[in-house]
Chain A
Amino acid sequence: MKVGIIVFPGSNCDRDMYHVLTDVFKLKAEYFWHEKGLPKNIDAIILPGGFSYGDRLRSGAIAAHSPIINDVRKMAEKGIPILGVCNGFQILVEAGLLPGALLKNTSLNFMCKWTNLIVENNKTPFTNKLKLHQKIPIPIANGEGRYYVDDDTLKKLKRTNQIVFRYSEVVNGSTDRIAGVCNEDGNVVGMMPHPERATESEINPIDNKPSSLIFESLIKTIGVKN
């Protein structure tokens, strides 16, 4: 079982994600440079955080046009689990694989802080080992992390169970405190907070178990370790 980590120019959480997948959860992982194609034997894809193209134009806007996104799109259609974290989420939104938009935080500042997520959908490949409404202590680190959808889309997201995570408090002005969403099929998930920064007790000052379940959900979904 192999997880592909997509690397864009300016990605900077790729190595953190690789460490967590391989050293913490003993999965096989491989980096894929954005100009290359994806092989068929990939079982899951992660778009890590960072500043692809230096956030020029709009965060995620340029990376969404990288050649590899065509393959990501095909794999999304095939139902392969895809997770976008932070800038990865922004890229998936810009690529139209997830609904909504990510705007500047209401503070107008970059925000790096620990907060809590509430699980709103535990049927996705990345949440199926979590309990509904379970709390996840997790850090955010972004300048454009305010999730926005209009009222009609929000109603639709609720109806189709596409809201995956909410913040437990008002963090950055996100519509309905949304922190993560999925596509209609549920296999493509995007989230602003960083689960890879929260799975080890050494660096998680609160509780590393809940965010570990995000990766354990993936293992449950794609099969046994290795």
Chain B
Amino acid sequence: MSLEPQELDDLTSKIGRKPTPTELQIVAAEWSEHCSYKSSKIHLKMLPMKGPLVISEKGYDSGVLDVGDGYVITAHIESHNHPSAVEPYGGAATGVGGVIRDILSTGTRPIAILDGLRFGDIEKDLQARWLFKNAVTGIADYGNCLGIPTIGGEVEFDECYSNYALVDVAAIGFGKKKDLIKNHANRGDLVVLLGGSTGRDGIGGSQFASDSLESEDRSAVQIPDPFIEKLIIETILEARNQNLINAMKDLGGGGLSCAVSETADALSIGIEMDVDKVHTRESDMSPDEIMVSESQERMLIITNNEKLKKLEKICNKFHVKCSVIGHVTSDSMMHVKKGKKTCANLPTTVVANAHLLDRPSKKPSYLENIEQEKKLSPISNYSKMMMRLLSSPNIASKIWIYGQYDHEVGIRTVIKPGKDASVLRLDNGKFLAAKIDGNPKHCYINPREGAIGCFEEACRNVVCTGAKPIGMLDHLQFGNPENPEIFWTFLESLKGLTDFAKYFEIPCVGGKVSLYNETPSGPIKPTPLIGILGLIEKKPLHSQKITSGDYLVIIGETKNELGGSEYFEYIHKFVGGKCPIVNFKESKTNMNAVLDVIGKDFLKAVHDCSKGGLAVAVSELCMINQIGCDVSLEKVPGPKLDADRTLFSESHSRYLVVLDKKNLKKLEEYLRKNKVSYNLIGQFGGENIRFSSGHKPIIDLRVDKAQKTWFNSLKELVHG
């Protein structure tokens, strides 16, 4: 809750005097890792952030992409890990609320939510199960009440998250380019705080999130109120329509301290404010508490005298409170008063710009021998083993989760959750595909290649719907950056993402870094999470019903890459081996080929091949369509491997393509001409999922039994 000794010296020398207690609180909040990105900022610059579709404006908390015809989409990603680990319901719910306000602050209407959740081993760990269940309910209750559809996401369970939780929320907004708020302020403009009252909840939240999780400081967790958030959304959008907002920022980590200092710094202005003018939940709050409270559902707005009346009228209509708390000055100072008494008077550049660190890094010693494989114990019955894999929490259907989220509201959801990526229709006749992906098991073994793999997987997922990736969101989650070995894994992941983004010319439009994700039992595995937005100009690929006789073609090579696979980790309890590596050239060839072929409009379905490998990907197609399939493993392209390796390798850049027999020639002609590695590996029909190698059956499952297990196991696990 306080500054490091050298930071205090730094502050004292910069302002030339001893800081006041309120100043210390303000600066401690703003200079926390959570708000200042002091460990990561100098490195994040390596990511490409510009592109032909990217629109950047001063002080935006979310990325903006031009989708043509006068429309834009906005996107951002946030996490709420520490709060969710101690109070999963409120932590997860307020995580949704925060990122929604980031979307709103650009003047766009939030139209979709995606969430990435990670917990300990819910099969054994009751605490993990409790966290999981309540985080899902928290997200559902918040998003559903707002009427913003939760259209997708991912969930993963791994022992590295025991007694902890990662709750990542991405949000997407949509609006007219002309309605974007062009943040600006003039001397004398009014500073307005709009929304919920400021209370004692979430005090010190950003510092709490900037340290390892050792105590359960529930008072640092914010209390969710989706009803007020919904009213704020409508109030702001109505005010935007009447052009009443000059500049706007959401109140998140660090509360008023961060919102005021960052707004002033971004717009090169000063702000003078009075804490007595802030509408509070309790009457006896101190200036320090008011400045660092992280009470939710609040927005900071800069407007002027003339517009204020109209803004107040809209606030009255929705019964949303708004208080004029100060005004804009030209001295670049953040001047906080209580009545006439000055509590803080600091240069905004000092507050908003913490001293950035260049932390040392060192390759972790655990990586020395991680790629060496141990001898695996033989599997006597692969069919039985496969059933166990289909029921495992990481592979099982996530319908228990997305069935609790309203994914239809807003009537844009063209491709619903449960597919490779969800797709929304936009008002200009185009479509937006979105997906988030992470893979800590791969990233633990190889932080660079694992991170690239997450990026490619998210791209593959949107490509399966016919969408071209146009923007990326990254969320980099690691342990304590003061540990050089952890910091090395952060840098490696970031470098990998940068290389892939540059090669594919996919700009990073938003991101977040979350460090200190540790509990007394240790740090989490490196967990970069990548969100991809894809644009579809004409129409998305709707999966058609697979019927008997349809062909199954695989694009891409299956390699001996089982490190971090579900097969090694869940079945063999082995952490190690070589994790999948993306070959950039092959990746681009395959991605472009799939997009081209989808455009020719003769495919029935395209499905990404990832977690659980070919065996799980084929089974998913069968279970969703309730049809069997015969697959010949020796036909799978790539180096010659043992049958289990072909089945469960998690090599990237692979796509399963389903098509009517009669269209095979067309597909082959195209793929051959473009030098794409592919093969016809199977045919649908019957009631069994069969994998054989040289006519020797390896796996033989009844579809209906597999489907029942896959579909129900997560629900049964949670409800007991």
Q: Chain A: residues with CB nearer than 8 A to chain B?
A: 9-10, 12-13, 15-16, 19-20, 33, 49-51, 53-56, 109-113, 139, 141, 143, 194, 196-197, 200, 202-203, 205
A12 in contact with B409 (CB, 8 Å): yes
Give the residues in chain A near B411, CB-CB below 8 Å.
16, 19-20, 196-197, 200, 203
In the assembled complex, 21 residue pairs joining A and B whose CB atoms fall closer than 8 Å, in A order, are A10-B145, A12-B147, A13-B147, A13-B409, A16-B409, A16-B411, A19-B411, A20-B411, A51-B147, A51-B226, A54-B145, A54-B225, A54-B226, A54-B227, A109-B137, A110-B140, A110-B405, A112-B404, A112-B406, A203-B414, A205-B416
With a cutoff of 8 Å between Cβ atoms, the chain A residues found around residue B230 in the complex are 9-10, 12, 51, 54
Q: Could you tell me the distance in whole angstroms from the C-beta of B211 to the nearest C-beta in chain A?
A: 33
A10 and B227 contact, Cβ closer than 8 Å, known pairs A54-B145, A112-B408: yes
**A111 & B147 in contact (Cβ 8 Å cutoff):** no
New contact pairs (16) apart from A15-B410, A113-B403, A203-B425, CB-CB < 8 Å: A9-B230, A9-B231, A10-B230, A12-B230, A51-B147, A51-B226, A54-B226, A54-B230, A56-B227, A109-B404, A110-B141, A110-B404, A112-B405, A141-B406, A143-B144, A205-B416
Q: Is B146 an interface residue (CB 8 A)?
A: yes
Report the separation of the CA atoms of residues A53 and B145 in the bound assembly, to the nearest whole angstrom.
10
Residues of A within 8 A of B145 (CB): 10, 12, 51, 54-55
**CB proximity of A14 to chain B, nearest CB, Å:** 9
Q: In the docked arrangement, what's the CA distance between A139 and B416, Å?
A: 12
Contacts of B416 in A (CB 8 A): 205
Which among B402, B406, B410 has the greatest number of chain A C-beta atoms within 10 A?
B406
Kindly identify, within residues 382 to 418 of chain B, every residue whose CB is under 8 Å from any CB belonging to chain A.
402-414, 416
Query: How many A-B contacts at CB < 8 Å in the complex?
Result: 81
**Would B408 and A141 count as touching, CB distance under 8 A?**
yes
CB-CB under 8 A from B231, the residues of chain A are 9-10
Answer yes or no: B503 CB below 8 A from chain A CBs: no
Q: How far is the CB of A71 from chain B (nearest CB, A)?
A: 18
Q: From residue A41, how far is it (CB to closest CB) to chain B in Å?
A: 24
- With A110-B406, A111-B403 in contact, is A53–B227 under 8 Å at CB? yes
Find chain A residues with CB under 8 A from B413 CB: 203
A-B pairs, top 3 by smallest CB distance, nearest first, are A12-B147, A54-B227, A51-B145
Check A141–B144 contact: CB distance below 8 A: yes
Which residue of chain B has the shortest Cβ distance to A56 in the bound complex?
Answer: B227
The residues of A that contact B141 with a CB separation of less than 8 Å are 110
B708 located at the interface, meaning its Cβ lies under 8 Å from any Cβ of chain A in the complex: no
For A15, what are the chain B residues with a Cβ–Cβ distance below 8 Å? 410
A56 to B542, alpha carbons, bound, how many Å?
39
> Which residues of chain A are near B542, meaning CB under 8 Å?
205
Q: Separation in Å of the A67 CB from the closest CB of chain B?
A: 14
Contact with A along B615-642 (1 / 0, CB 8 A): 0000000000000000000000000000
CB of A145, distance to nearest CB on chain B (Å) = 12
Residues on B with beta carbons closer than 8 Å to the beta carbon of A10: 145, 227, 230-231
Docked pose: A56 CA to B410 CA in angstroms: 22
Question: Which residues does chain B contribute within 8 Å of A53, judged by CB atoms?
Answer: 227
* B403 x A197 contact (CB < 8 A): no
Q: Kindly list chain B residues whose C-beta atoms are within 8 Å of the C-beta of A51.
A: 144-145, 147, 226-227, 230
Asked if B43 CB lies within 8 Å of chain A CBs, one says: no
**Hey, which chain A residues are within 8 Å of B405, CB to CB?**
110, 112
Q: How far is the CB of A24 from chain B (nearest CB, A)?
A: 10
Name the contact of B318 in the complex, choosing from A9, A12, A203 (C-beta under 8 A). Answer: A9
Given contacts A51-B230, A54-B227, contact A203 B408 (CB under 8 A): yes
